[in-house]
Copies of this chain bind each other. A is one copy, B any other.
Amino acid sequence: MTTIKDIARISGYSIGTVSRVINNRADVSEEAREKISKIIRERGYQPNSIARKLKQSVSSEVSIIVRGSKNVFFESILEEIQIKMREYDENISVQFIGETDNEVETAARIITYLKPKGIIFLGGYIDASRHDFSQIHLPCVLVTNDARDFGFDNLSSFTTDYFDAGKYVVDRLLSEGHTRIGILGGYPEGPGREYKNGKILGAVEALRENGILFDFDRDYEPCSYSAESGYKALEILFRRSPDLTAVFALSDSIAFGTIRALKDIGLRVPEDVSVIGFDGLTYANYSIPRLSTIRQDTAGLAKKSVDDLLMRLSYGGEAVHELVPYEYIEGESVAVNRKS
């Protein structure tokens, strides 16, 4: 293994000077820089990143903490982030945590362990651990949640406007004549069994504006973000509310399970029941029927998050909070309500 000592010996300079060349410091003579660079190139010398990390209190990596490893939507954002980071030649390390794990605690552990220079949270909440987060002073980005109101100047956030999108979905269903609309996905949060999910709140608001009071006990069924749970949740929902003519599934995977369950019950989509999903997974465009859904801009979310983090890392600047536009994709899973 070639080390900095070898380069120093061969070049005739000290390891201090070699180190300065490696780190592109200004205070090196052109002569030394060229000579040393040449030798580094020839030998294919790569500085030992572990030794560097030990000295530098911070490494050159960005850590990405992903909440929930089975979430197809997060996987696609993660993929985009990876691509972007590779373009910029930045190193990343990915950490998956469980749905119920505390991402801020994880961040604290990672900071001592990996010493990242910045952190991207993919799908955390943060506000549940505000106190702990205030101990973290690295530039961070929260993706798929709005951190505007948390008041941390080192935490940017980029997210779809879930409230607005949820409202759009229900407005769309209302405009097709549906009034008996069910909602599938997510969980009531906190001790008060509150519904904090923006998609749900937006959906409820759309109904309210049309004089319909959403009955959670009857027309809502919680479930996690997978086809399996979507399937089961639909069965429960329709046993309770067989008169529903439309379903808003909080993710495409839930929607796929929903559509399959409806078929197995003997109901046709969209003739008997309309279904709208959320996320805009590639597969939504290949399912039978094609799924009508809200497409989140995964590429945009990823790009903005990465760009913001790297810019703040290099030049400082304030944290920003941005709502990234979504798009409604017209599929084949929505039809006019013929029941009423």
* Residues of A that sit less than 8 Å from B by CB: 1, 46, 48-51, 53-54, 59, 69-70, 75, 79, 82-83, 93-94, 96, 109, 112-115, 226-228, 231, 253, 256-257, 259-260, 263, 282-283, 285-288, 290
Contact = CB atoms under 8 A, between A and B. Distances in A.
Contact of A288 (B59, B283, B287): B287
A59 B51 CA distance: 13
B260 A226 contact: no
Given A227-B282, A282-B228, A287-B288, A46 B113 contact: yes
Contacts of A94: 94
Contacts of A253: 283
A281 B238 CA distance: 26
Nearest to A57: B1
A83 B83 CA distance: 25
Contact of A282 (B51, B112, B226, B287): B226
Contacts of A46: 109, 112-113
A112 B257 contact: no
Nearest to A289: B288
A83 B259 CA distance: 30
A287 B258 CA distance: 11
A50 B48 contact: no
Contacts of A54: 48, 50-51, 54
A82 B96 contact: yes
Contact of A1 (B112, B257, B285): B112
A273 to B, nearest CB: 14
